[in-house]
Chains A and B, each alone.
Chain A
Amino acid sequence: MKQPNRMLRRAFIKGMASSAGVMLAGCSQTDPPTYGHVLRMGDLLTYKAHRLLLPAQALAREYDYADISSVPAIGTTNPSGHKEHGATYERLLANRFTDWRLPVEGSVTRPRAFSLDELKRLPSRTQITRHTCEEGWSAIAQWTGVPLRSVLESAGIRSTARFVQFYAYDGWVDGIDMLDALHPQTILAYGMNGRELPISHGAPLRARVETQLGYKSTKFLRRIVVTDNFDDHGARGFIQNGWSWYAGI
């Protein structure tokens, strides 16, 4: 009775060890760095497992108009006070964002900047989805915007591009991989519940990444950069601040 148990166990341990080896060997500039931190290794395992096991680009549930709920605004609710970009934001806000431009640059063939009107002229998408905050609460709202995919394609995505980085007026910097960036529900939203996006929810433009936790849906977009390699954004990024970069959980 003992012998087969032992063999099964050995096979199990060997399997665990070799998959760990594959994981380590797989680390490159195209994966979130772990800096030897065991928690970040766990985050990387979750990210890799999701990308390996989950069908790509499955749509998050969309709800009915009557399901729309109250939505708290947290984090930055107005970037005017930000020491680096606050004054610029205040000036743009005073002009109702007519002077606001969104540069899309990096690993694209035709880097350019979009005005809010230009974005609104692109084919739009409206979706009623659940915002799942990492804190544990959730809310349902209707978002209207332009699919990130259309914006990236109009700037010409290079074949080497792997990530999309978001820079915001409140100093927030973050990124998503190309799989999420090209997801049909990943939009740059300028409308919420049929109205202009309120300031507290990220005016004039915010990302909606419906397959990840709320903190990946960067508000107050200032600039978009397409990159070939992973960018952890150094001391300002999530990873070096002790948070998981991937939040599909």
Chain B
Amino acid sequence: MSDLAAAQSPALSISSSRGHSRWVRICHWMAAASFLALALSGFFILMVHPRLYWGHVGNDLTPALMTLPISNNHRPDELQNRMVFTELPGARVTAERNFHIFNQNGWARSLHFLAAWIIVGTGAGYFLLGVFSGHVKRNLLPRGRELAPRSLLQDLRNHFPLRVRPAGVGPPYGRLQKLAYSSVMFAVLPLMVATGLTMSPAVTAAYPILLDVFGGYQTARTLHFFGFTMLVLFLIVHVAMVIATGFSRQLRGMTWGNER
């Protein structure tokens, strides 16, 4: 067994497992609850206008990058009194929408922002505690040699076909595990916050650079959706791994810690 493989051995993980710190457990469940609220409300918000675009503009009268089959709100044939209303070439038009659409944004958007405040507050606290306690450096960021393709491939092979044996509760984490956690926390979640802010008329008035960074309001909205799909994929794999490595033991470990 090579050194790399030895460092990855599940048996070794168990014996050296330190469990989750209490602040990690609190942050984890606060983030988990906020994420579920964000995902649910975000899905409802998307149902109101299930089309995605690129750039600054996108609506029922312009072509979409994609139309998601999650609601019946996009019914261009039912728009009425279509008329050209500029002198510009390319016939910009207006048309009236006189039918009712599904719209639960009243509670959905308010819940989305309430949960966003909580997850951002949790994330800020987590980041500060994580940096100062050394948790981020010690347990989360993959070390240079762990990112070598050979090393990652080895770890990937260890996951198939279900060769995962009961792993330790808490750090040390595996190579792919570190990569997954750090990219969610330091890449995807910050991207979600930044693209979310780019959809705010008040924030982009104050910081128009956000519109330039992402290439427009609709691009930010589309990237926000891509980020959402990545987070859902992460959640599926995360829960699958929790189940594969001992569901109730992992759940206890993340809730009560290793002390008992």
Residue in A5, A41, A67, A132 whose CB lies within 8 Å of B217: A132
Interface pair A136/B208, CB less than 8 Å apart? no
B94 CB within 8 Å of chain A = yes
Residue in B23, B59, B101 whose CB lies within 8 Å of A71: B59
Interface pair A135/B103, CB less than 8 Å apart? yes
Interface pair A72/B201, CB less than 8 Å apart? no
Across the interface, name the chain B residue whose C-beta is closest to A75.
B97
Across the interface, name the chain B residue whose C-beta is closest to A16.
B121
Kindly list chain A residues whose C-beta atoms are within 8 Å of the C-beta of B45: 136
Best-buried of A65, A139, A201, A210 by chain B (most CB within 10 Å): A139
Q: How far is the CA of A230 from the CA of B95 in the complex (A)?
A: 35
B93 CB within 8 Å of chain A = yes
Q: How far is the CA of A71 from the CA of B94 in the complex (A)?
A: 5
A36 CB within 8 Å of chain B = no
CB distance from B80 to the nearest CB of A (A): 8
Q: Mark A56-84, 1 if CB is under 8 A from B, else 0.
A: 00111101011111111110010000000
Stretch at the interface among B50-58, B166-174, B186-194: B50-58
Kindly list chain A residues whose C-beta atoms are within 8 Å of the C-beta of B110: 39-40, 42-43, 243-244
Residue in A194, A212, A242 whose CB lies within 8 Å of B86: A194
Interface pair B107/A68, CB less than 8 Å apart? no
Stretch at the interface among B124-132, B157-165, B246-254: B124-132
Known: A65-B88, A68-B88, A248-B202. A73 touches B109 (CB 8 A): no
Residue in A12, A42, A242 whose CB lies within 8 Å of B117: A42
Kindly list chain A residues whose C-beta atoms are within 8 Å of the C-beta of B3: none
Interface pair B217/A138, CB less than 8 Å apart? yes
Interface pair B205/A249, CB less than 8 Å apart? no
Q: How far is the CA of A40 from the CA of B98 in the complex (A)?
A: 29
B72 CB within 8 Å of chain A = no
Interface pair B85/A193, CB less than 8 Å apart? yes
Interface pair B81/A211, CB less than 8 Å apart? no
A4 CB within 8 Å of chain B = yes
Best-buried of A4, A67, A74, A137 by chain B (most CB within 10 Å): A137
Q: Which chain A residues numbered 13 to 52 have a C-beta less than 8 Å away from chain B? A: 16, 38-43, 45-46, 50
Interface pair B132/A73, CB less than 8 Å apart? no
Interface pair B201/A249, CB less than 8 Å apart? yes
Q: How far is the CA of A205 from the CA of B7 in the complex (A)?
A: 71
Across the interface, name the chain B residue whose C-beta is closest to A66.
B88
Best-buried of A42, A194, A201 by chain B (most CB within 10 Å): A42
Across the interface, name the chain B residue whose C-beta is closest to A37.
B110
Across the interface, name the chain A residue whose C-beta is closest to B57.
A69
Residue in A4, A70, A132 whose CB lies within 8 Å of B201: A132
Interface pair B60/A249, CB less than 8 Å apart? no
Interface pair B201/A212, CB less than 8 Å apart? yes
CB distance from A58 to the nearest CB of B (A): 4
Interface pair B88/A8, CB less than 8 Å apart? no
Residue in A58, A130, A193, A211 whose CB lies within 8 Å of B56: A130
Q: Mark B72-86, 1 if CB is under 8 A from A, else 0.
A: 010000010101011
B183 CB within 8 Å of chain A = no
Extra 5 A-B pairs, beta carbons < 8 Å, given A6-B22, A39-B110: A12-B125, A50-B202, A242-B106, A244-B109, A248-B200
Question: What are 13 A-B pairs at a CB distance below 8 A?
Answer: A1-B133, A9-B129, A38-B114, A61-B205, A67-B56, A68-B92, A71-B61, A72-B59, A135-B49, A135-B73, A138-B56, A193-B85, A212-B202
